[in-house]
Amino acid sequence: MLCCVQGILGGTFDPPHNAHLAMARAAYAQVGLDTIRLMPAGDPWQKRDTTVSPASDRWAMTELLASEDDRIVADDAEISRGGPSYTIDTIEQLGERHVLIVGADAALGIPTWHRGGEILELVDLAVVPRPGVAAEQVEQVVGRSVKWLDMDPIDLSSTKIRILAAAGGEYHDLVPSSIYHYIKDNELYGSGVSRHARSLSSSPMKRHSPGATQDAIEAARAAAVAIDAKSGEDVVLLDLSRLLVVTDVFLLATGTSRRNVLTLVDEAVAALRVIGRQPIRKEGADHGQWVLLDYGDVVIHVFDRQTREYYDLERLWADAPRIEFEPSSSAVES
């Protein structure tokens, strides 16, 4: 057993959630650590193509997570340092030998990190099981033995919480109550961004009375036709203008596989680019189970079958009127 060392649990923490708490507690108990340091990235270099919440919000939520357990402390070293947040810089700044706590999927990527070989020489690894990743696979990639934490594989991500928040779904059981209320009170992951997007719309918003704007309807239909043409399943348009203040239309569609989900997303983006639309936020493309495209007045959700059935947004928004669209001719002919 290692002793007199600290565990480092880093990440974007956008938002931090119950799985992070479980990871920290498991590492503390099984590795024999003095403390666990939660270290939110200031400028996460691996997220350059993803919209990331301000460091101030992520830091505030990290402090709230740390307050759940007195064995855990929040550390703002990476935020305060400025510039890209590289793990090797944090390790060298802390000095001594520490335990880096990572998910099995992240561990597979360590050799590709900035000065990844040096990281593996300076820290011990406590690895959290992830679905579909074996301990032997991790050890082969990193070239050394690791401490495989004895806990159920974690299948929860910050991405999933952000998407649920944007979709109006419930996620209160996925984060501590304090973080749930922080997200709600500060309108993270949905309302603030979408309101801003309304001022960026490509054309004036002519609202039916009441109902979604014509601009939103036309954009949603264009995306629906493009998705339908690539064999997207169960394409549904929901008018949420009377139920939400953050958007007018939801487009829901199902892909036949995760690869197909990403193809459908690309088709939707291309179709809306033709009419001068660009997404202001994209979530979930790293795993392809549920991808969200936020255009402000239109939010597109493309799922794999299992994820769509599990979250069942049609049931959540059962009171929303449906918007009709004409399927593409290629889909009808097939």
- The whole-angstrom separation of Cα 90 and Cα 119 is 10
- Mean pLDDT by runs of 10 across the 334 residues of the chain is 75 96 96 94 68 92 98 95 88 88 95 94 95 93 95 89 88 96 90 37 40 90 96 95 87 95 97 95 88 94 94 90 82 44
pLDDT of residue 334: 43
- The whole-angstrom separation of Cα 128 and Cα 103 is 5
pLDDT of residue 2: 46
What are the pLDDT digits (tens) for 196-221? 333 333 333 333 435 689 999 999 99
- The whole-angstrom separation of Cα 144 and Cα 124 is 10
- The whole-angstrom separation of Cα 213 and Cα 295 is 13
pLDDT of residue 219: 96
How do the domains of the chain map onto residue ranges? 6-180, 205-333
pLDDT of residue 40: 95
**Residue 107 Cα distances to 19, 128, 134, 158, 311, angstroms:** 17, 9, 11, 18, 29
In sequence order, the 6+-apart residues with CB closer than 8 A to the CB of 37 are 6, 7, 8, 9, 72, 73, 74, 75
Instruction: Specify burial of residue 185 (Cβ count, 10 A radius: 0-12, 13-18, 19+).
Output: exposed
Instruction: Please determine whether the domains at 6-180 and 205-333 fall in the same fold group of CATH.
Output: no
Does the domain at residues 6-180 carry the CATH identifier 3.40.1440.10? no
Express as a percent the part of the chain with pLDDT over 90: 69
Structural contact between residues 11 and 55, judged by C-beta atoms closer than 8 angstroms: no
Structural contact between residues 44 and 74, judged by C-beta atoms closer than 8 angstroms: no
Retrieve residue 142's tokens.
């990193």
* Cis-peptide into 210, omega within 30 deg: yes
Q: Transcribe 81-110 into DSSP letters.
A: H-SB--HHHHHHHH-S-EEEEEEHHHHTTG
Answer whether 0.75 is exceeded by the pTM.
yes
pLDDT of residue 233: 96
Instruction: Specify burial of residue 318 (Cβ count, 10 A radius: 0-12, 13-18, 19+).
Output: exposed
Structural contact between residues 230 and 249, judged by C-beta atoms closer than 8 angstroms: no
- The whole-angstrom separation of Cα 327 and Cα 269 is 18
What amino acid occupies position 37?
A: R
Question: Between β-strands 233-239 and 249-255, what pairing exists: parallel, antiparallel or unpaired?
Answer: antiparallel
What is the strand order of the sheet 233-239 is part of? 233-239, 249-255, 298-304, 290-294, 281-283
| CATH code reported for the domain at 205-333 | 3.30.460.10
Place of tokens 């402390």: 73
pLDDT of residue 238: 96
pLDDT of residue 126: 97
